[in-house]
């Protein structure tokens, strides 16, 4: 009910409401008339004002009115398969004048964390689960009533028996660690292997008592990146590029961002998902921001000269 009411008011996307349009238009007109009024007579002290106000006007004009021209597409890349097709938010296929081919996908991970869970599978304490990040051998921490000591952490491991793991770089390897668990109430100790498991290997946990189990959480990605080849229609040159999260590349009018991968496969993902964004108004937005900065700098010099 509340969601429907918010939708009717247009609060889910204010920029598409009629009242936002009126307010925005009035603001642009007010700024423009202020700029015209100050620009009629040349005075040095007006320069910071004109830079600031025209920069703000240009940023608002290009940023809001240009939204209708922004194109956002996603593309699924598989290794050694050139892809010309992308798809929109409503899954409409779009043929592009460029193709991307995934050559290598890689992930850097944080060390796994160990958690104590209860019989329902909830990490404890429920209010704020405590984890033990496996960063350094022979490091210890206390989780609830148990002291956990890490002896060996393997970022890539496979089971060599039912209860032990060895370091191995084979495709599909998982994470594993050898730890000692001490019950601080009884001072009983046991040393065992624990593993997060993955799509290929089952996880391995350590039973602490009838109600509690020590588990290894799947690793979290520190960063992930794709090495790709870029083909463009009408051009013989093949570009070699690397896309990282928050480090897009620019090809023609497209900015290409690394957005996701097959999380079930983790570091062994053969899928890389990229987003292609075309925003023809973006250069004007940058010009507006530059003018705002220039106006701020000019204002500082103006104040300094007055002193």
Per DSSP, helices labelled H in 164-281 are none
Q: Kindly state whether residues 122 and 207 are assigned to the same domain.
A: yes
Q: Kindly state whether residues 134 and 269 are assigned to the same domain.
A: no
Q: Kindly state whether residues 136 and 208 are assigned to the same domain.
A: yes
Q: Domain ends where: 218, 241, 266?
A: 218
Question: Would you state the pLDDT for residue 2?
Answer: 47
Q: Domain ends where: 198, 218, 238?
A: 218
Running DSSP on this structure, what letter comes out for residue 204? B
Q: Kindly state whether residues 214 and 139 are assigned to the same domain.
A: yes
Q: Which of 218, 164, 209 is closest to 191 using CA atoms?
A: 164
Q: Kindly state whether residues 122 and 193 are assigned to the same domain.
A: yes
Q: Kindly state whether residues 127 and 174 are assigned to the same domain.
A: yes
Number of domains in the chain: 3
Entry field: residues in the chain: 307
Q: Kindly state whether residues 58 and 130 are assigned to the same domain.
A: no
Q: Kindly state whether residues 101 and 231 are assigned to the same domain.
A: yes
Which distant-in-sequence residues (6+ apart) come within 8 Å of 175 by Cβ?
A: 112, 153, 154, 155, 156, 157, 195, 196, 216, 219
Q: Kindly state whether residues 186 and 162 are assigned to the same domain.
A: yes
User: Roughly how many angstroms between the first and final C-alpha of the chain, as a whole number?
Assistant: 60
Helix 46-65 vs helix 18-39: angle between axes, to the nearest 10 degrees? 150
What is the residue range of 212's domain?
Answer: 112-218
Contact 64, 24 (CB under 8 A): yes
Question: Would you state the pLDDT for residue 197?
Answer: 95
Question: pLDDT tens digits for the chain (307 residues)?
Answer: 445 544 555 455 666 677 777 888 888 888 888 888 888 877 777 888 888 888 898 888 888 877 778 899 999 999 999 999 999 999 999 999 999 999 999 999 999 999 999 999 999 999 999 999 999 999 999 999 999 999 999 999 999 998 999 999 999 999 999 999 999 999 999 999 999 999 999 999 999 999 999 999 999 999 999 999 999 988 889 999 999 999 999 998 899 999 999 999 999 999 999 999 998 888 888 898 999 998 888 888 766 666 5
Question: Would you state the pLDDT for residue 19?
Answer: 76
Q: Kindly state whether residues 211 and 163 are assigned to the same domain.
A: yes
This prediction has a pTM of 0.74
- What is the C-alpha separation between 160 and 268, in angstroms, rounded? 20
Question: Would you state the pLDDT for residue 15?
Answer: 66
């Amino acid at each position: 009910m509340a969601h429907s009411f918010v939708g009717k008011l247009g609060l889910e996307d204010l920029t598409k409401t009629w009242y936002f349009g009126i307010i925005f238009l009035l603001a642009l007109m007010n700024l423009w008339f202020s700029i015209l009024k100050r620009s009629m007579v040349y005075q040095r002290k007006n320069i910071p004002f004109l830079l600031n106000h025209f920069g703000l006007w240009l940023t608002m004009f290009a940023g809001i009115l240009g939204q209708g021209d922004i194109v956002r597409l996603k593309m699924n890349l598989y290794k050694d398969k050139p892809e010309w097709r992308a798809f929109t938010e409503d899954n409409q296929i779009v043929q592009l004048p460029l193709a991307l081919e995934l050559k290598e996908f890689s992930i850097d991970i944080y060390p796994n964390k160990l958690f104590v869970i209860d019989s329902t599978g909830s990490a404890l304490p429920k209010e704020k689960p405590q984890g033990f990040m496996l960063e350094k051998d022979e490091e210890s921490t206390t989780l609830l009533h148990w002291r956990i000591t890490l002896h060996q952490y393997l970022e890539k491991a496979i089971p060599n028996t039912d209860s032990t793991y060895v370091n191995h770089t084979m495709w599909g390897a998982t994470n594993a660690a050898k730890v000692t668990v001490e019950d601080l109430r009884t001072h009983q100790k046991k040393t065992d292997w624990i593993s997060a498991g993955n799509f290929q290997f089952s996880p391995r946990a350590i039973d602490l008592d009838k109600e509690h189990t020590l588990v290894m959480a799947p690793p979290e990605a520190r960063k992930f990146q794709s090495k790709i080849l870029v083909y463009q229609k009408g051009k013989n040159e093949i570009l070699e590029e690397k896309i990282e999260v928050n480090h897009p590349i620019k090809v023609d009018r497209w900015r290409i961002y690394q957005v996701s991968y097959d999380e079930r496969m983790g570091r062994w993902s053969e899928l890389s998902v990229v987003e292609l964004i075309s925003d023809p108004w973006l250069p004007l937005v940058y010009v507006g921001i530059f003018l705002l900065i220039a106006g701020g700098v000019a204002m500082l010099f103006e104040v300094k000269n007055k002193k």
